[in-house]
Amino acid sequence: MLFSTKYSRRSVLAMAAAAGFVAASPAMALSAAQAEELVGRLVGDINKVINSGKSEGAMIRDFERIFGKYADVDAIARFALGADARSASAGQLRAYSKAFASYMAKKYGRRFREFQGGQIEVQSASKSKSFTEVKSLAILKGQRPFDVTFRVADNGRFRDMLIEGNSLARLERTEIGALLDRRKGNLDQLIRDLPTL
């Protein structure tokens, strides 16, 4: 995956986090090798967009397509919403998930061109108690390499991405919580605003 050298580790990999919730067939658990291959395909798809030479708007649309292709958007959106998801209606959750996908695509898609000049190398995968963990190494010009771990659940869907142990799923949960707090807990207002942020 291509990155710029002038951004922090968190900002460099935040875009990858948005796309780093990959979905495969929910009917069967993935082996470690399949999970590793899945991460490789995700990285390859993102690299194609970054290297396409397209306009920012076109890149954002491509990124939203990638997010929809690989991500369990509803699960990620619900996790980011936290406890407030329990009191939301089914209709609100559908609208929120759609708004969340647009928000993520714009938030991180705008940064595609900033990520040129580096790469993520998939290295290995191993089964843990709850996930298959795919370990990789982020290599940026002018910085020391650092670890990135993708967590793939047994249903074949990405649930998190850890940068040197720090969960980006939890980072998004904090950010969505702050956005909702600024709207005094009004989920409908958050749904309206997310695609414009």
pLDDT in tens, 74-94: 888 999 999 999 999 999 999
3-state secondary structure of 88: coil
CA distance 146 to 165: 10
CA distance 188 to 82: 15
Residue 28: what pLDDT? Answer: 52
Q: Are 50 and 62 in contact (CB under 8 A)?
A: no
Alpha-carbon distances of 114 from 6, 7, 104, rounded to whole Å: 8, 8, 16
What count of residues does the chain have? Answer: 197
Q: Which of 3-12, 140-149, 184-193 has the lowest mean pLDDT?
A: 3-12
Residue 55: what pLDDT? Answer: 84
DSSP 157: B
Average pLDDT, the chain: 79
Q: Are 121 and 136 in contact (CB under 8 A)?
A: yes
Amino acid letter, residue 129: K
35-59, pLDDT tens digit by residue? 888 878 877 887 788 778 788 888 8
Residue 5: what pLDDT? Answer: 34
**Domain boundaries, given as residue ranges, for the chain:** 9-196
* Residues 6 or more apart in contact with residue 70 via CB below 8 angstroms: 19, 21, 22, 23, 42, 45, 158
Asked if pLDDT for residue 110 goes beyond 80, the answer is no
Q: How far apart are the first and last CA of the chain?
A: 25
Kindly indicate whether the domain formed by 9-196 is annotated with CATH number 3.30.460.80. no
Mean pLDDT to the nearest integer, 9-21: 49
* Helix residue ranges, H only, the chain: 9-19, 32-50, 56-70, 73-81, 84-87, 90-109, 168-182, 187-193
* Residues 6 or more apart in contact with residue 128 via CB below 8 angstroms: none
